[in-house]
Amino acid sequence: MNNLGIVIIGRNEGERLISCLQSLITELTDISKIPIVYVDSGSTDDSVKTAKSLGVQVIELDSYRPFTAARGRNTGFRFLIEQYPNLKYIQFIDGDCTIISGWLEQAINVLDNNKSLAIVCGRRAEKFPDATPYNRLADMEWNTPTGETTACGGDALMRVQALQEVNGFNDTLICGEEPEMCVRLRRQNWKILRLEADMTLHDAAMTKFSQWWSRMVRSGWATAEGRAMYGSSPERYMVRQSLRNWLWGVFLPLISLIFAWPTSGLSLLLLLGYPVLGWRIYKYRLSCGDLPSHARLYAFFCVLGKLPEVMGQVKYGLIQWRGQQATLIEYKLPVS
The confidence score (pLDDT) of residue 91 equals 97
214 is a domain residue: no
Q: Which of 164, 21, 31 is nearest to 88 (CA)?
A: 164
Count other Cβ atoms within 10 Å, centred on residue 66. Answer: 15
CA dist., res. 195 & res. 1, Å (int): 19
- Per residue in 262-308, pLDDT (tens digit) is 999 999 999 999 999 999 999 999 998 999 999 999 999 999 999 99
CA 189 remoteness from chain centre: 23
**Residues 303 and 182 occupy one common structural domain:** no
Name, in order, each residue with C-beta under 8 angstroms of 177's C-beta and a sequence gap of 6 or more: 68, 69, 70, 73, 169, 170
- Per residue in 237-253, pLDDT (tens digit) is 999 999 999 999 999 99
245 is a domain residue: yes
Tally the residues of the chain: 336
CA dist., res. 178 & res. 150, Å (int): 10
When divided into structural domains, the chain yields a total of: 2
CA dist., res. 288 & res. 146, Å (int): 12
219 is a domain residue: no
**Residues 232 and 203 occupy one common structural domain:** no
Range of the domain at 196: 4-207
- Per residue in 197-213, pLDDT (tens digit) is 999 999 999 999 999 99
**Residues 120 and 54 occupy one common structural domain:** yes
335 is a domain residue: no
Q: Output the domain CATH number for residue 162.
A: 3.90.550.10
**Residues 163 and 237 occupy one common structural domain:** no
* Angle 51-29-5 from CA coordinates, rounded to 5°: 60
**Residues 150 and 287 occupy one common structural domain:** no
